[in-house]
Amino acid sequence: MTTIVSTFGSELAEATAASYNRTFADIPFCWPIDAQALMDPATLPCDNLSALRGDLLLVAREGQAVVGYVHVVVEDAKPEGERDWDDYAQTQGVLRMFWYERGYRAAGAVLLEQAESHVRAHGLQRIEVMHSKRGYPWYHLPHVHLTQRLEHVHALLYAHGFARDKSNVALIWPDAANAPLAPCALDYHLRIEREDCSGPAKRQLLFAEQGDTFCGMCVGASLAEQHADLRARDWSYIRWLTVDEPFRRQGLAQRLLTETFRTMAGEGARHAAICCIEENTPALLLYANMGFRAVDFTYTYVKALHQQSAQVNEPASPLCP
């Protein structure tokens, strides 16, 4: 029998961390966490943390084992002049984190329905699931959403009236530090700045310039900024890459990436990871033809809460149970 628990203490944090580790064991960059990672989920940093309130944490138990978890909040709308990418003009409900273990669909459904009820109680008309700007820092790569590899979670969201919205592709380049410098037809000066951050390695900011003219920029960081697992130190993450229009199509983006790989190698990172929106065809073409390979496709889900009760879309085919 499924029991839903909302009192979150140290014992429950340990059992919930164990459930996360079982559920995400085969997902890239979802290294194991301990109870400390879930001791105070409401304070876990994310881009939009200051806009979040009304936290509700729910855990599904079967006997003494935790088999599912949801963290739902209210996100206040930002004023128009303060909105950044994927910020919205309306206050909404957000599932910062949601999972249930395979075989426990009923537990996942109860968690989802109670999270939705919490959002309705605040009079909100929209709910969004697992956007990277509102997620947990130790989950996956910095810009990914809900991993496609948890197909049972995606299916449950679909069944409850959620629709796929934003996308992000996770790509990796093993041993990127050994990649040769990409050819570039542009003459430029490379300037490197190093920034202290929360992890053991410094962020590397590479600027391509012609005198006082900005040509392009690449920012590399260590995944150890967000992951405590020692394996994270082997990985650099490309947080930003841009080339101004007059300097495009001359190989500068590829050169900046390979320069960043070498610079991050000095911080102990041999491999590289990057993300891009699935529909961003130029970026995906660039990365995939350089040497990156996709290891995950991730998505957010949204639902309009106009109806009075949760709608469950059961499959129509008699071949589907």
Decide if pLDDT at 315 tops 70: no
Could you identify the residue written with the tokens 């995944």?
Answer: 223
Decide if pLDDT at 314 tops 90: no
DSSP state of 145: -
Per-residue model confidence as pLDDT tens digits over 226-243: 999 999 999 999 999 999
Q: In whole angstroms, give the CA distance from residue 68 to residue 283.
A: 35
CA contacts within 13 A on the Cβ side of 54:
20
Q: In whole angstroms, give the CA distance from residue 78 to residue 71.
A: 21
Identify the structural domains of the chain with CATH numbers, from first to last: 2-166+299-304 (3.40.630.30), 176-269 (no CATH)
Cβ count near 210 (within 10 Å): 13
Residue 110 Cα distances to 100, 177, 215, 299, 319, angstroms: 10, 46, 52, 22, 25
The pTM assigned to this predicted structure is 0.92
Decide if pLDDT at 50 tops 90: yes
The tokens describing 81, both together, are: 């002049």
Per-residue model confidence as pLDDT tens digits over 145-202: 999 999 999 999 999 999 999 999 999 999 999 999 999 999 999 999 999 887 788 9
Amino acid at 111: L
DSSP state of 50: G
